[in-house]
């Protein structure tokens, strides 16, 4: 059995972000293996995130916007988000960029195999459909199947997006629509976003918070109606499509970690429960792990990133939405009418001070949130 210091199971966002950091020459005395079952060449998702700084993936940011629009029945505002930029990275660019770097690093190997079992031990053993590998520490980036979410707050964020190309100039390319709630809500939280990459091309995406997943036809009908009726675009072609379901949940993923097996990415709760964003949290998480390895410290601290105070806020939000005390349109409309996007981003990044949080708590519908907060306590 080949032996490694670290085995990364899964080469999606979290696995590749960690491997990218471990390509650094500071880790050249380590043997690292990355195991992934798929080719990772398709543009199967688009990673958007806000940031005030340049990150390791700046060279593959395909488009960024300094102006964002928020729209609902009661609010229609365009915000200048300086010093933030809202950035877009295509999935296929992200995979290619990382895989190139990994292939250039002699101390990291990658194999295309399907993992069938991971056993804790000294060393741990990872069995795939073709081989078995021994590793001192394992980073697992996909959740175990059949997790019982029934004791946690849980709602799926499910979405479908089209990259459309129009015949005439249809978009203002320096401005993206962050959220547009002007579609039938059907008793759920439903919004669209529009991310133009030039005057004729944009990613138009539908996102829904609910546990009732739609059929492909239903998503397509909503997208088509939005493009034709809300955006008034009739002549267009669909160039690319993406679709997905991600968990928004208060579930304690940390309990699956063992002494030598750490979960990262979605499997660790890195998808922010109140927003569904994961990209920036995964970058922070993999920075932290690389630092812990450099310092020779315990690796079971990757959960410490998600602070309990914000977990409580997220649970309150999920409770308020899931028990219909309020709905996403009302919450986000009030937040974007009363607060700056800079403060909202800082809060979602879990970096606000108590004074800023007090300001934030006056924005959402007070009574439903108070009741949800008490219910969560
Ligand atoms: C369509 C879509 C759009 C999104 N857009 C955004 C966005 O704009 N901004 C944002 O912040 N987040 C976004 N997300 C959420 C989140 O960033 C992504 O889901 C992200 O890919 C999660 O990273 P991950 O590493 O946890 O999981 P993944 O990227 O799914 O990686 C897990 C990897 O493990 C592999 N794997 C699974 N099982 C095995 C096995 N048995 N053996 C070997 N390999 C295995 C999979 O093939 C996969 O490559 C989006 C998600 C989707 C689906």
Mutate to test the pocket of ligand 1, among 7, 11, 13, 102 (most ligand atoms within 8 A of CB): 13
* pLDDT more than 90, % of the chain: 87
* pLDDT in the model for residue 371: 86
pTM of the model: 0.96
The fold for domain 2-63+88-148+251-305 equals: FAD/NAD(P)-binding domain (3.50.50)
346 pLDDT more than 80: yes
Which atom of ligand 1 is closest in space to residue 115's alpha carbon?
42
Which atom of ligand 1 is closest in space to residue 281's alpha carbon?
11
CA of 47 to the centre of ligand 1 (A): 10
SS3 labels along 343-357: HHHHHHCCCCCHHHH
Q: Which of 14-23, 90-99, 299-308 has the lowest mean pLDDT?
A: 299-308
Residues 166/228, Cβ–Cβ less than 8 Å = no
The CATH number given to 154-248 is 3.30.9.10
Reported as a single tens digit per residue, the pLDDT across 240-257 is: 999 999 999 999 999 999
Phi, psi of 280 (to 5 degrees): -70, -35
Burial 325-354 (b: 16+ CB within 10 A, else e): bbbbbbbbbbbbeebebbbbbbbbbbebee
Q: Average of pLDDT values for 267-280? A: 95
Q: Is the CB of 11 under 6 A from ligand 1?
A: yes
Grouping H, G, I as helix, E, B as strand and the rest as coil, residue 170 is: coil
Q: Which of 20-34, 105-119, 182-196, 286-300 has the lowest mean pLDDT?
A: 286-300
* pLDDT in the model for residue 363: 83
Q: Is the CB of 79 under 6 A from ligand 1?
A: no
CA of 159 to the centre of ligand 1 (A): 14
Q: Which of 43-57, 111-125, 150-164, 289-303 has the lowest mean pLDDT?
A: 289-303
Residues 260/124, Cβ–Cβ less than 8 Å = yes
pLDDT, the chain, mean: 95
Q: Is the CB of 37 under 6 A from ligand 1?
A: yes
* pLDDT in the model for residue 302: 67
Q: Average of pLDDT values for 27-32? A: 97
Q: C-alpha angle with apex 175: 174 to 177, nearest 5 degrees?
A: 155
Which residue, judged by its Cα, is nearest atom 3 of ligand 1?
Answer: 45
Q: Is the CB of 27 under 6 A from ligand 1?
A: no
Which residue, judged by its Cα, is nearest atom 10 of ligand 1?
Answer: 277
Which residue, judged by its Cα, is nearest atom 15 of ligand 1?
Answer: 278
Which residue, judged by its Cα, is nearest atom 49 of ligand 1?
Answer: 12
Pairing of strands 85-90, 189-198: unpaired
Place of tokens 């812990």: 292
Which atom of ligand 1 is closest in space to residue 15's alpha carbon?
25
145 pLDDT more than 90: no
Which atom of ligand 1 is closest in space to residue 10's alpha carbon?
34
Phi, psi of 294 (to 5 degrees): -60, -40
Bigger pLDDT: 220 vs 303: 220
* pLDDT in the model for residue 300: 75
Q: Is the CB of 237 under 6 A from ligand 1?
A: no
Q: Which two tokens stand for residue 315?
A: 């649970």
- Rounded Cα distance between 264 and 292, Å, is 14
Q: How confident is the model at residue 365 (pLDDT cuts 50, 70, 90)?
A: confident
- Rounded Cα distance between 338 and 352, Å, is 17
Picking from 232, 240, 206, the residue whose alpha carbon sits closest to that of residue 220 is 206
């Amino acid at each position: 059995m080949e032996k490694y210091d670290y085995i990364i199971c899964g080469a999606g966002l979290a696995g590749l972000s960690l491997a990218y950091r471990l390509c650094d020459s500071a880790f050249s005395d380590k043997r690292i293996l990355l195991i992934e079952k798929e080719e990772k060449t398709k543009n199967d998702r688009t990673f958007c995130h806000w940031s005030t700084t340049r990150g390791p993936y700046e060279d593959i940011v395909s488009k960024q916007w300094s102006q964002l629009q928020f729209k609902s029945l009661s609010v229609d505002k365009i915000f200048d988000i300086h010093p933030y930029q809202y950035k877009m990275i295509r999935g296929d660019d992200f995979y290619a960029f990382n895989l190139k770097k990994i292939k250039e690093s002699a101390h990291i190997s990658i194999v295309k195999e399907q993992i069938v079992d991971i056993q804790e031990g000294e060393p741990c053993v990872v069995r795939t459909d073709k081989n078995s590998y021994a590793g001192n520490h394992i980073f697992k980036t996909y959740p175990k199947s059949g997790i019982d979410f029934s004791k946690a707050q849980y709602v799926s964020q499910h979405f479908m997006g089209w990259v459309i190309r129009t015949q005439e100039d249809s978009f203002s390319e320096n401005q993206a629509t962050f959220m547009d709630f002007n579609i039938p809500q059907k008793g759920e939280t439903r919004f669209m976003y529009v991310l133009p990459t030039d005057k004729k091309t944009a990613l138009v995406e539908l996102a829904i918070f609910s546990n009732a997943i739609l059929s492909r036809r239903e998503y397509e009908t909503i997208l088509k109606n939005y493009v034709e009726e809300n955006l008034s675009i009739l002549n267009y072609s669909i160039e690319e499509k993406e679709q997905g379901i991600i968990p928004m949940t208060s579930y304690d993923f940390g309990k699956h970690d063992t002494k030598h097996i750490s979960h990262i990415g979605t499997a660790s709760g890195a998808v922010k429960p109140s927003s569904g964003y994961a990209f920036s949290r995964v970058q922070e998480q993999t920075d932290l792990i690389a630092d812990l390895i450099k310092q020779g410290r315990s690796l079971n601290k990757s959960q410490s990133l998600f602070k309990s105070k914000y977990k409580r806020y997220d649970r309150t939000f999920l409770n308020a939405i899931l028990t219909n005390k309020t709905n996403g349109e009302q919450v986000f409309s009030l937040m974007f009418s009363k607060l700056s996007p800079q403060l909202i981003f800082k809060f979602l990044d879990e970096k606000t001070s108590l004074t800023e949080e007090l300001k934030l708590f006056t924005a959402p519908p007070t009574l439903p949130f108070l009741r949800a907060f008490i219910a969560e306590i």
